[in-house]
Chain A
Amino acid sequence: MKTVWLGAAIGAFAFASPASAQGVVNVYCSVQVEWCTLIANEFQKASGVKVSISQKGSGETIAQLKAEAQNPKGDVWFGGTGDPHLQAAEENLTEVYKSPKLSELHPWAIKQNTDSAGKTVGIYAGALGFGLNTELLAKKNVKAPACWVDLLKPEFKGEIQMANPNSSGTAYVAIATLVQLMGEEKAFDFLKKMHANINAYTRSGTAPMKAVARGETMVSISFVHDGVTEALAGFPVKTATPCEGTGYEIGSMSIVKGARNLANAKKFYDWALTPEAQKLEAQAKQFQVPSNKATPVPPEAPKFADMKLIDYDQAKYGKSSERKRLIARWDAEVGGLPKP
């Protein structure tokens, strides 16, 4: 028995050792891993501050922020769709900060900052649209959908995939977009009719685009920039944005409330809004629209100018109460319907 205790004691000695807090910034990173690694290395080079980065989805990150609220371990939360950032702001998990770089940003990025009373800021934006598998379209000899209403056509029966809004922010953006575009009643009518053509409501928001790439489904409702990444990886993927207009997400950044390295966190925050930092995105093969107006945009990236964007009301539809209500309605009226 002594040996077990001794083992436990030795374990306690050897591992109760978190890293030193000198010149460090802890970043929770909710974008793709290459991008996270790049910003960590480049910021370290630019500022000399050691970056400790931990990559997690935005849902996991806000869960962690909530669990750690009494004793925060992270300093900055970089990336991930805007709603959880707004929610964190609403639940007082993040800190107010007005960066001197704010004036260099696109209006939608600044609006994200004002909507949250200064607690979060936009760092990139991506539009919602369709992912299309060109091989399957050609094989079935179907014309690619160009508008939301095309998705109701009988030839797409069992060929469309979207995420489940219970678990995915992407799917929630889709529902909120339709509600803003058509009005709530008509939007739910549309969703009910489209249900007949859906083959699965996946758990994760990026899964439908992956399914399109692998030929598991013909059409997906996804963020279009994800399609560019798949196409560059060699998959037969094409994207389209609906003709009636479409919504978008604003990838955001926030400073954690009670951050241990607040000064470094602000330094990182300012740096992440510069064109030098934002052009790393394209280097990591990601194609959202960066929020600094001066950031160069790669030619493959979907351009906002080519799409019809709705005036997405982030403040209203980012609120937890509205979100819970719409998701509950979707669950009751659409998600539970029998498969035709």
Chain B
Amino acid sequence: MSSRAPLLWSVAGLLAAVALPWYALQEGLDSGAWLTGLWSSEDYASGLAQIIQHGRWWLAPVLAALAACLAICLVPTSRERCGAWLMIASAAGLALFVAQGLAIGLRGWSADWLVAAFGELAGRQIGTGAGAALVMIALLALLSIGLALRGAFGGDAFVAGAITTVAASILLFTAWPILRILVQAFQDGDGVFRPALLLERLAAEKIWSVRCLVGGGRCGVAWNTLILAVCCAAGTTALGLAFALIATRTGFHFKRTLRVLTVLPIVTPPFVIGLALILVFGRAGLVNQFLDWSMGVASTRWIYGFQGVLLAQLFAFTPVAFLVLIGVVEGVSPTLEEASQTLRADRWATFTTVSLPLMRPGLANAFLVGFIESIADFGNPIVLGGDYGVLSTEIYFAVVGAQLDYGRAAALGLLLLAFALGAFFVQRRVVGQGSYATISGKGDSGLPTPLPDAARRAALWVAVPWAVFTFLLYGFAFVGGLVKVWGRDYTPTLDHYTKAFAIERTADGLIWSGAAWNSFWTTVKLAAIAAPLTAALGLIAAWILVRQRFVGRATLEFATMLSFAVPGTVIGVAYVFAFNVPPIEITGTAMIIVLCFVFRNMPVGVRAGMAAMSQIDRSLDEASATLRGRAPQTLVYVVLPLLRPAIVGALVYGFVRAVTTVSAVVFLVTAEYELATTYIILRVINGDYGIAIAYSCALIVLMLAVILLIQFVVGERRLGRRIAPPLGGRA
């Protein structure tokens, strides 16, 4: 590590403290109005000016720590000593930064005991701005460089930087908001701390009742949630595996169609599947009407409840399982299978004793993702649940319903987290410590073995009807956007589309007069910003979790999954709670929406990256290291090209989820930054299904286009050297 990097970082940090406004600006940086007021105006002043000119003495120690870092870099000394001093100075600076941010808020001291200890404070401070943010980033960078110089993380500053970045960002944007809201579980309505209250809230009969088994009545929401999640996880894993096997290991003719169909549900805005299921299976739906008309069978309401929710979740989450599994199934090296067949094992024995066990990390990951998706799902239970309550809906109604009880919501949120935690540990037990590496640098890896007949038939029998059914469901939804009122008036019309997406040509040029354009472009813009950030952060996290050994690795791994397990509504409220007041005051901006997208969707990138990475033999990294490649080179030239399916998965998922998320952002959107989904939900609530479906169809087309674009740009990974014959090869 040259001493240039710490020097650059300390200079950059100090520059930010002198030349950029320390606090957040009402009108944003791009207006440029702050340039003239950097010294004199209290609103626009830089960090240094705030200390000298405006009496904010508490910022001085932070800047002093940064200056100390600069001094340390300039003094020639040994590597270790320089590292130790850097570490101490930057850690002290960070601690002071955090302490002043938390202790001094909008009205001076932010806690009563601080007032009691130090007396009233004249000053106050608003949210962190560009200057403060850059100073903090510089201090973080210096901390990781210091750690690396002292020999931590293999002495590699890149690894140290990656780990600090991931850890700090997760701490800030996942752990902190969730902690803020979970503390509420121990507080009563007036904010008094009463630990016993949590037990009281969790022991409620409504949560744990088993009356559906004995005596009749409804079961507790905890049991409902667990049963649903296990069924959903098992179902999605099986379906996802079937699709992945067909896509990679059979000569099935319609593979491409199949792939598109499996991707369809994931690009579908929420409520559409639920609505389509109601249109088809509801009491006034096509199936019931037909049964009634042809056989006089009385209409039933079976779609509302466990069955309906499970069906909708299977539709919605099978593609996620597919995306997790396809990388793994593709990655199982044919070498081992060929070896097995050389040893006279038949195809079935090879499949069950070699291929399947090698897919175990993928299967376990898919199961985990399915389980967690199911317990955190909100859209499907709310549309189709009827009386069947699950924890996520229960939490939502504890927050927004007639009870308005944050404490209960937080307690239920804790329970949900406990379930996620349990699933996580079970998954780690199942995968265990075995080695699943199959991609090594040892030359030609052969061709994948076609599936044994029995497995192929089973996979086709599962997948094809499912695909046909999906196709039908989407067909109905699509038609729903082209008729006047579904169920009443089937006159074909384009009204819904023109209402949403009209563009008028006038003398002044084009006017985007459709009602949907504003939310449409906001959504596209924010999702396009969030997706690459999501993928980058997710894959870097996966890389350090799989490839690096350091203290607190398991904790970090769990923390990455945290935001995924908490239902969107809780995240949304938690974000408002945590980021509405200084030190970080970003509610009402586009930034909070992007951050919410990134940290909520990153876990899938992490899981997919980890599953794919555990297949890549470490010897490749070692080979790169032997050739004097440093960590960044190894990552860029060796690991990333082999991770292409995972990159595609993470990018696609990051974009698509950003476009389709509802529950997490419902508290974060404003008139200025309205999102497509919230707009659609409003139309649905209003009963205006035509325009909702029309808009959803437009979004689906957009997302498919983006997926194809991402596939095209990132490309596929090439493992073997042989070209597959047309049949039996990979898609």
Contact = CB atoms under 8 A, between A and B. Distances in A.
A180 interface: no
B272 to A, nearest CB: 16
A293 interface: no
Contacts of A234: 484-485, 488-489
B161 A1 contact: yes
Contacts of A63: 399-400, 404, 573, 667
A327 interface: yes
A53 B393 CA distance: 27
A14 B137 contact: no
B19 interface: no
B162, B397, B484 pick with most chain A CB within 10 angstroms: B397
Interface string B130-142: 1001100100010
A199 B301 CA distance: 9
Given A70-B580, A73-B588, A168-B402, A17 B671 contact: no
A5 B134 CA distance: 9
A17, A201, A215, A216 pick with most chain B CB within 10 angstroms: A17
A279 interface: no
B560 interface: no
B580 A71 contact: yes
Interface stretch (A104-112, A141-149, A206-214, A249-257): A206-214
Contacts of A54: 669-671
Contacts of A83: 402
B465 interface: no
| Chain A residues touching B, majority SS | mixed
A14 B586 CA distance: 12
A59 B165 contact: no
B570 to A, nearest CB: 11
Interface string A197-229: 001111110100010011111000000000001
A230 interface: yes
Contacts of B577: 67
A6 to B, nearest CB: 9
Contacts of A70: 106, 580-581
B693 to A, nearest CB: 14
Contact of A17 (B27, B206, B386, B669): B27
A44 interface: no
B301 A11 contact: no
Contact of A11 (B158, B573, B594, B686): B594
B568 interface: no
B393 to A, nearest CB: 7
A308 to B, nearest CB: 26
A16 B127 CA distance: 10
A233 B687 contact: yes
Nearest to A139: B292
A57 B402 contact: no
Contact of B403 (A66, A201, A214, A327): A327
B589 A16 contact: yes
B580 A338 contact: no
Nearest to A169: B402
Interface string A65-80: 0111011010000000
A287 to B, nearest CB: 14
Interface stretch (B210-218, B610-618, B622-630, B711-719): B210-218
A16 B399 CA distance: 28
Contacts of A71: 106, 580-581, 585
B165 A1 contact: yes
Contacts of B141: 5
Contact of B393 (A8, A12, A203, A339): A203
Interface in B10-35: 24-31
Contacts of A46: none
B666 interface: yes
A210 B687 contact: yes
A1 B148 CA distance: 14
Contacts of B573: 63, 67
A15 B130 contact: no
B47 interface: no
B402 A59 contact: yes
B682 interface: yes
Interface in B662-677: 666-667, 669-672
Given A12-B591, A52-B671, A71-B585, A214 B401 contact: no
Given A1-B165, A11-B591, A214-B487, A17 B687 contact: no
A261 interface: no
Contact of A67 (B129, B484, B576): B576
Interface in B82-126: 106
Contacts of B524: none
B239 to A, nearest CB: 28
B63 to A, nearest CB: 18
A263 interface: no
A109 B687 CA distance: 29
Given A15-B591, A216-B283, A8 B137 contact: yes
B685 interface: yes
Contacts of A19: 672
Contacts of B263: none
B225 to A, nearest CB: 16
A59 B488 contact: no
A327 B88 CA distance: 57
A167 B165 contact: no
Contact of B686 (A33, A320, A331): A33
B387 interface: yes
Contacts of B403: 166, 324, 327
B51 interface: no
A215 B393 CA distance: 25
A165 interface: yes
B39 interface: no
A15 B590 contact: yes
A98 interface: no
Nearest to B144: A1
A327 B402 contact: yes
A214 B218 contact: no
B27 A20 contact: yes
A16 B586 contact: yes
A240 B476 CA distance: 34
A59 B413 CA distance: 19
Interface in A302-340: 320, 323-324, 327, 331, 336-339
Interface of B: 24-31, 106, 129-130, 133-134, 137, 141, 158, 161-162, 165, 169, 206, 209, 211, 215-218, 278, 282-284, 301, 304, 382, 385-387, 393, 397, 399-404, 406, 484-485, 487-489, 529, 533, 536-537, 540, 573, 576-577, 580-581, 585-591, 594, 666-667, 669-672, 682-683, 685-687
19 contacts: A1-B162, A4-B540, A9-B130, A12-B133, A12-B591, A17-B25, A19-B672, A52-B670, A54-B670, A62-B404, A70-B581, A73-B588, A84-B404, A164-B397, A166-B401, A167-B401, A203-B385, A210-B687, A336-B209
Interface of A: 1, 4-5, 7-9, 11-21, 32-34, 52-57, 59-60, 62-64, 66-68, 70-71, 73, 83-84, 87, 164-169, 172, 199-204, 206, 210, 213-217, 229-230, 233-235, 320, 323-324, 327, 331, 336-339
Given A11-B591, A234-B485, 10 more contacts: A4-B165, A5-B141, A9-B137, A14-B30, A17-B31, A20-B26, A64-B667, A70-B581, A71-B106, A200-B304
Enumerate the 5 nearest inter-chain pairs by beta-carbon distance, A residue then B residue, closest first.
A17-B28, A215-B284, A338-B216, A59-B400, A15-B591
